[in-house]
């Protein structure tokens, strides 16, 4: 069913590394037109060049998802270039874990800005276009920490990812009438820069040790995203949880 991916215009946030980069490469292989969005211009340009060398189509747009105007600009530039927006992958995220008693309030704010407001700003940027098209697909990256609280160091991170779950379910119910599909992914330990997000030495060491033991490749998530997108228009894959086989949490 990969023909359902061909020529779809897909915006991917956090596309400069990890899950976003892997997803961009995977979707481009199946003929999607990728709009790669992130803050690091050099990494985006390298990704677009790589996709182009493999015969794919991609556009790089520098964007900070904590700024609503940046995501509105992404939507405008995408429409100007391709005339439509078929899929948004809200992938950008920050995992700055530490016990609450460490009072990493600045990091709490950053996680809220990226993991919650960034998702909402992305939705706000593309939703009017998708409603006008009477078609579209919004894919939000939560986490297994959005299903179970990572007590001890991940309370605020879990809170942001539970929020993504709630936002996604509400969006699904509200937009079903508009023929818009909504998918939420709950990955476990997947290889990415996410594991380097904490400034707390003890928490950071624990996270990195956990990932070293359990992590699976970033394209594990990319394959799940491809599966959700490739379904016929009348089929919505609403939730996907994927973990390393041996991961308990």
DSSP string, 114-150: IIIIHHHHHHHHHHHHHHHHT-EEEEEE--GGGTS--
82 catalytic? Reply is no
SS3 state of residue 93? coil
Of the candidates 26, 121, 157, 211, the residue annotated as catalytic is: 157
Reference 246, options 219, 212, 221, 218; nearest CA is: 212
Distance of CA 26 to the CA centre of its chain: 14
Residue 19 DSSP label: H
| DSSP-derived pairing of the beta strands 239-242 and 57-62 | unpaired
CB of 207 closer than 8 Å to CB of 192? no
Sign (positive or negative) of CA dihedral 6, 11, 16, 22: negative
d(CA 195, CA 140) in angstroms, rounded, equals 19
d(CA 39, CA 67) in angstroms, rounded, equals 11
d(CA 197, CA 217) in angstroms, rounded, equals 18
DSSP string, 142-201: --GGGTS--TTT-HHHHHHHHHHHHHHHHHHHHHGGGTEEEEEEEE-SBSSGGGG----H
Active-site residue list: 157
């Amino acid at each position: 069913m990969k023909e359902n991916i061909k020529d779809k215009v897909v915006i991917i946030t956090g596309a400069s590394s990890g899950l976003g980069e892997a997803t961009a490469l995977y979707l481009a292989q199946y003929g999607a037109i990728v709009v790669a969005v992130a803050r690091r211009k050099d990494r985006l340009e390298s990704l677009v060049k790589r996709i182009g060398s493999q015969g794919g189509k991609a556009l790089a747009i520098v964007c900070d998802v904590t700024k609503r105007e940046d995501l509105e600009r992404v939507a405008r530039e995408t429409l100007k270039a391709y005339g439509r927006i078929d899929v948004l992958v809200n992938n950008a995220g920050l995992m700055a874990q530490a016990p609450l008693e460490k009072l990493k309030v600045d990091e709490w704010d950053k996680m809220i800005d990226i993991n919650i407001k960034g998702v909402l700003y992305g939705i706000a940027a593309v939703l009017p276009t998708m409603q006008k098209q009477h078609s579209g697909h919004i894919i939000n990256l939560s986490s297994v920490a959005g299903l179970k609280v990572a007590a001890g160091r991940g309370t605020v991170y879990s809170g942001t990812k539970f929020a993504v779950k709630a936002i996604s379910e509400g969006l699904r119910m509200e937009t079903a009438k508009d023929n818009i599909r909504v998918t939420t992914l709950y990955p476990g330990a997947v290889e990415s820069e996410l594991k380097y997000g904490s400034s707390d030495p003890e928490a950071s060491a624990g996270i990195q040790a956990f990932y070293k033991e359990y992590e699976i490749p970033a394209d594990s998530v990319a394959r799940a995203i491809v599966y959700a997108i490739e379904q016929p228009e009348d089929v919505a894959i609403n939730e996907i949880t994927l973990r390393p086989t041996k991961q308990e949490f």
